[in-house]
Amino acid sequence: MLCQIITSMSVRQVDISHKPVQRREAVAVGRIKLRPETVEKIRQGSVEKGNPLEVARIAGILAAKNTPSILPLCHQLKLESVEVTESIGYDYIEVKSKVVAFEKTGVEMEALTATAAALLNIWDVVKQYEKDQNGQYPYTAITEIKVVSKVKENETT
């Protein structure tokens, strides 16, 4: 019975035409766990492909701007600001993405997408250092991607 209900639901984008334009802000964070030796290579600037943090910032910004292409039910938004920053720990890098827009709907999916894309790009740039002798990634993991802040403010005129 449950299967029938789920498969009979139609997919649609939510109508937001009645909602007011408001300042929307969302912040998402996530981490990638890496070998300490890989983190040290990043700190020293000795990663063969280049600086993974710079790649992550650019990829995160681009991903936020293209969220509706990845998540088909998201509305196309005019983003005012996308900021991707990182902090480095002993065996991880944490990425924080902040997205701001004056829109009728929130920007948390854009912040989450920016964070996820940034983390994936870090993995891509350093993957050669993360593989074990069998070509596997026993240590590497992307974790804890979540929205840590969501703000909605009335538009001022």
Kindly list the catalytic residues: 124
Contact 87, 94 (CB under 8 A): yes
Q: In sequence order, what are the residues at sequence separation of 6 or more whose Cβ sits closer than 8 angstroms to the Cβ of residue 157?
A: none
Q: How far is CA 141 from CA 20, 60, 120, 149, in A?
A: 40, 18, 10, 23
Dihedral of the alpha carbons of 49, 30, 63, 36, in degrees to the nearest 10: 0
Q: How far is CA 71 from CA 46, 47, 65, 79, in A?
A: 35, 32, 12, 16
Q: In sequence order, what are the residues at sequence separation of 6 or more whose Cβ sits closer than 8 angstroms to the Cβ of residue 57?
A: 84, 85, 86, 118
